[in-house]
Every structure is written in C-alpha cells, then in structure tokens.
Chains A and B, each alone.
Chain A
C-alpha cells in the first residue's frame, strides 16, 4: 500500500438527543492511500454518512461527541483548531453531497460560488477566480461554460448542479474527495454520467476518493476497496472483486443477493429477514445476529473485533475465518 493519506482509528460518534447520548457509529478503522478509491456501503442507519461527515467534523459540535483519531497525513483532524480545520476543508479534503439543490446558494451565480473557495483558499482575485471558474466548468463538462458561469442554480438541471458541486469541490485540487451519495437524487442515465466524470477526474487529478452509497452496484463499479457497514460498525472490508466472489460476512452476502438481478427473471428475490435495529436498540453481541441465517449460540453475546481474513480483507464474523486474529 502507498503512503497513508488518511488513517482512521477507533472512530466513534454519538449524538445528543433529548433522551441522552445516542451512539451512531463506533469501531471505525480504515486507512486510505494516495490515489485510493474506497467505497463505504450500508443501508439507512448504518452510519456511513455519519462517518464521512466526522472526517471533517461537519456535525454540529454542541450535540456531537467524536472519539478516536482521524489522522490526515499524520495530523489528527479531531484536534485541529477551527482555523486549521477551515484550511483543511475545501483545500485538501473536499466533499460532494447528495442533494445539490440544498448545497448551492440560490442567490449567487455559479461563478461566485466556485470563486468563493478560490478566493478563500488561494487568495485569487475576482477576474482570475472567474477565469478559473470557467475552466472548472469545462473540466466537469458543462457545455458553453463561459456563458453558463453566470447562471443561477435554479437555471441548471439536477445533473448540472451536481457537476457544479463537483467543480466547487475540485477547485483547489484537493487530495481527497468525499462523495456522499452523489447521485442518489439523479436519474439513472445522469448518474452514469456523473460517475464517469468522477472516474475521469480521479485519474486526471490523482485524487483519492471516498464514495459513500447505499448502492453496492454503484460502489463496485467505482471503488477498489469496499467497507460494508451495518448498524454503526464496519463489518467487512475487502477488495471489490473479492467481496463479490465470496462475501465473508452473512450481511454482505445478503446485501449482494438482495440486489435485484438484471440478468435473470427471478420470480422471488432473496431477502434478509428482519429490519435494521434502531441505534438505541442494537443487540449486544454481533449486531446482525438476530437476522443472521448462520447465527450460533455465542453470536448474540460475543463482541467481535474485525478479524484478519487474508488478501487485504477483514471481517467482523467468525463464519469463514478459522485463524481468529484481530486486525492490528
């Protein structure tokens, strides 16, 4: 593996509600090298987005507790001052969210919105920032960039707005792009366009990318490695192909087979019984145990770490792992 760009250790996040602190995510460990593409997959309540937002401390600070370490090139993001954090956000690590209509300011035109981060992080002046904004629109393949740069968000289609968001994100040539469900609000054909764009940008700019999605298919087309999360924990980490060849965790297995198949006329779909436990009602031992077809007697009360599974894989389950060593 290349140099570690990002090293997340024992990340745990909880939120304050009027019923006290509620754990959202725990035991998150992963590393990311330069140029890596990591996919984080999970269903609602799995904690995938919470994890992503914590990397940049984007939660409301008053009501959030983040523990563990997020080492960005050796420095702990969780310990940075506000100023240092500001420096990091946007310039070294950038983010793209699901719904561009809520992340773009409706009263500013595209040039101003792209220019903002250029002015903040690179001290560019108006005219230079504008030129760069047009360049960036070209990069994200918005046709007729010199004219569209004066448009306001409502004049763009959903796909174009997401392209603008990506242009803003890559404006300062970040080392890492975190894309949180970037195509969920888009049509299938537009989704394919956006993913193609991200793929090209990653190659051209040499960025690392963390792609967060509920769609295992989408992630598998893009990422090299996948981290599957369930009920607030990573439960399997594996190279994409290996994961699909033999999912080691019964949940990953269930998730893969539950994707409706485009290649056969199945009349009954395989399902995972039950539903995801709420954060306050997570089982004590293995959190998937109550739904697991392979559960054994001690699954419900043994808390497992991620176990080494060979081939760069790790899994929080003993089903396919004989030599039970925790990942270092």
Chain B
C-alpha cells in the first residue's frame, strides 16, 4: 500500500472523482490545439451555418426564374450573379450546400455503419472473412460512377439513388479500414483476458473491439465525407446526380458549362464552394489523423 499515493495520486490529491481524462477527451483537447483541424472546423461550421440560415440570408426561392435578369454578373443585388434562367446563384449555392452536406453526412454515416459491421465481422469471425472481403473487393471493382448510373437506372434519378450509390461505393473502404484495425485489436491481451473470463463474442466486439476501432474509422469518415461531396458534384455534373431543378453544386456547375466564357460566375461560385468544403473536411481529417496516430506519443 506504500506506493499507491505516488505517480498518479501525488499530483491530484483529494476525494474520489470521476476522471475527466478519458482518451476521447484527451484526443478532443489535442484536436482543439491542432491548427489545421481548427481552420477546417471553422470553415465547415461556417458552411453549415450558411446552409442552415438559407431562408433568412437568401431570397428563399432557389428555383424562382426571372427572364429579365438572365446572366447578371455578380452585383450588390446578386452577389454571385444569376444563371441562364435568371435564378439567383447566391440562393442556389447556399441551398446547394444543404444538398451536398446532407449527402456527405448521410453517406459517411451509412458507410461507417455497414462498413463497420462488415469489417468487425470479417475480423472476428474468421470463417466469414474471405467471403465478406471478396464481396467488398467486387464492390470496389466497380467505379462509383458506374455504380451510380446503375442505381439511378433502376431507381430513377433522385437524391436517394445518389446516396445509395455512393454508400455502396464507400462501404468497402470503411469495411477494410475497420477490419484492419480489428485484426490488430483482437490480438491484444485485453481481448484475450475477456475471452479467458468467458465473455461472449458480442460482448467482446461491443466493449473491446468497436470502441478501439472508432478512431481510425473516424479519420476514414472525414475523407468519405469529402469524397461524397465531390462525387455528388461529379454525378450531378454528368446529369445522373441530383435531378434539376433542385440546386446542387454539381448541377449548377453542369449548367454553367455551356456558358463558361460569357457567364464565368455560374461555374466559379459553386466550384469554389465544392473546393472549400472538401478542403475544410480534409483539413479536419488531417488533424484527426495526427492526433489519433499512436506513434505521436512521446515517452520520457
């Protein structure tokens, strides 16, 4: 009983207290000190804020046409100019953010969910491994775009086909990521300890494997988020994404393509929006990766 008061105890005397130093919180604190993560976070929050406030900061009607003001260059009345139907591009870009963020978020969440389940099952139930991973390989062999064309052909061009197509394209990535970390974690002594105590597979997966896979999965997710926004834009640009007249960054750019020379602003502003949001999310992803990478820990 002699040594107990040193090391941990010496610096924090006092009554029993729930430790606030959970690894999650420590990571969060380190994240907040990470410069590029902060920059990315602020940018993304700004975009989210604009998308949320859309009805109040725009004219509220992204699809309202007005022939009189076709092709107006950026001005005080129309900060981003207008398009070939005379629609206010500021309004369309801001409303487009809602579509892009929604798609990015949903795709990231869904592929994390399904990819996570598949990855953990493959890693834990070794007999399922090769079957599951071959299915993932097959999915990965299809380019996301082909997949999307297929899905929209079946379901018709609508938002949900885009989401389904992109989710099925990113599930394999998440599954592989989770499988790789789960394979490492299943060999850890604490998993062995749980098994020795007679813990069930479900319990081990839920309490030991999944929580320790979350960090690398989170990093992957930020990239999936960014890719999904880009992919949605690409699909819409090709005319198989968000169906017009819904405003999405991709289909605004697609429309602007025909007028690239005389009305450059139609392509420029949604294009910028795509780059900025992808950049912000990637910055956050870099920060996450730096913070969650165990190699950064310094030993005395």
Assuming A18-B30, A18-B33, A281-B11, is B6 touching A291 (CB within 8 A)? Answer: yes
Interchain CB contact under 8 A, B300 and A275: no
Q: Is the interface of A mostly helix, strand, loop or mixed?
A: loop
Whether B154 sits at the interface, judged by CB under 8 Å, is: no
- Across-interface contacts of B30 in A (CB, < 8 A): 18
Interface residues of B in 1-30 (CB under 8 A from A): 2-3, 5-7, 10-11, 30
Whether A290 sits at the interface, judged by CB under 8 Å, is: yes
Interchain CB contact under 8 A, B7 and A275: yes
Interchain CB contact under 8 A, B3 and A45: no
Assuming A24-B300, A279-B300, is B10 touching A273 (CB within 8 A)? Answer: no
Pick the residue among A273, A278, A291 that contacts B300 (CB under 8 A). Answer: A278
Interface residues of B in 232-282 (CB under 8 A from A): none
Interchain CB contact under 8 A, A15 and B298: yes
Pick the residue among A18, A232, A277 that contacts B7 (CB under 8 A). Answer: A277
Pick the residue among B6, B11, B299 that contacts A274 (CB under 8 A). Answer: B6
User: What's the Cα separation between A274 and B5 when bound, in Å?
Assistant: 7
User: What's the Cα separation between A279 and B6 when bound, in Å?
Assistant: 14
Interchain CB contact under 8 A, B7 and A278: yes
- Across-interface contacts of A278 in B (CB, < 8 A): 7, 300
Interchain CB contact under 8 A, A290 and B6: yes
Interchain CB contact under 8 A, A45 and B300: yes
Give the Cβ gap from B34 to chain A, nearest Cβ, in Å: 8
B49-77 interface bits toward A, Cβ cutoff 8 Å, 1 = contact, 0 = none: 00000000000000000000000000000
- Across-interface contacts of A18 in B (CB, < 8 A): 30, 33
Whether A17 sits at the interface, judged by CB under 8 Å, is: yes
- Across-interface contacts of A15 in B (CB, < 8 A): 298
- Across-interface contacts of B300 in A (CB, < 8 A): 22, 24, 44-45, 47, 232, 278-279
Interchain CB contact under 8 A, A281 and B10: yes
Give the Cβ gap from B166 to chain A, nearest Cβ, in Å: 35
Give the Cβ gap from A7 to chain B, nearest Cβ, in Å: 26
Q: Which residue of B lies closest to A274 (CB)?
A: B6
Q: Which residue of B lies closest to A278 (CB)?
A: B300
User: What's the Cα separation between A161 and B179 when bound, in Å?
Assistant: 33
A229-258 interface bits toward B, Cβ cutoff 8 Å, 1 = contact, 0 = none: 000100000000000000000000000000
Q: Which residue of A lies closest to B298 (CB)?
A: A17
Q: Which residue of B lies closest to A15 (CB)?
A: B298
- Across-interface contacts of A17 in B (CB, < 8 A): 298
- Across-interface contacts of A290 in B (CB, < 8 A): 6, 10
Q: Which residue of B lies closest to A276 (CB)?
A: B7
- Across-interface contacts of A232 in B (CB, < 8 A): 300
- Across-interface contacts of B299 in A (CB, < 8 A): 44-45
Interface residues of A in 14-73 (CB under 8 A from B): 15, 17-18, 22, 24, 44-45, 47
- Across-interface contacts of B7 in A (CB, < 8 A): 274-278
Interface residues of A in 247-296 (CB under 8 A from B): 273-279, 281, 290-291
- Across-interface contacts of B6 in A (CB, < 8 A): 273-275, 277, 290-291
User: What's the Cα separation between A290 and B10 when bound, in Å?
Assistant: 10
- Across-interface contacts of A277 in B (CB, < 8 A): 6-7, 10
- Across-interface contacts of A291 in B (CB, < 8 A): 6
A2-18 interface bits toward B, Cβ cutoff 8 Å, 1 = contact, 0 = none: 00000000000001011
- Across-interface contacts of A281 in B (CB, < 8 A): 10-11
User: What's the Cα separation between A275 and B6 when bound, in Å?
Assistant: 6
Give the Cβ gap from A257 to chain B, nearest Cβ, in Å: 15
Q: Which residue of A lies closest to B296 (CB)?
A: A18
Interchain CB contact under 8 A, A273 and B298: no
Known pairs A22-B300, A45-B300, A273-B2. 12 more at Cβ < 8 A?
A18-B33, A273-B3, A274-B3, A274-B6, A275-B6, A276-B7, A277-B7, A278-B7, A278-B300, A281-B10, A290-B10, A291-B6
Question: Can you report 23 A-B residue pairs in the complex whose CB atoms are below 8 A from each other?
Answer: A15-B298, A17-B298, A18-B30, A18-B33, A24-B300, A44-B299, A44-B300, A45-B299, A232-B300, A273-B2, A274-B2, A274-B3, A275-B6, A275-B7, A276-B7, A277-B6, A278-B7, A278-B300, A279-B300, A281-B10, A281-B11, A290-B10, A291-B6
Which residue numbers of A lie inside 8 Å of B, CB to CB? Answer: 15, 17-18, 22, 24, 44-45, 47, 232, 273-279, 281, 290-291
Which residue numbers of B lie inside 8 Å of A, CB to CB? Answer: 2-3, 5-7, 10-11, 30, 33, 298-300
The 7 A-B residue pairs with the shortest CB-CB distance in the complex, in nearest-first order: A274-B6, A273-B2, A45-B300, A275-B7, A279-B300, A274-B3, A281-B11
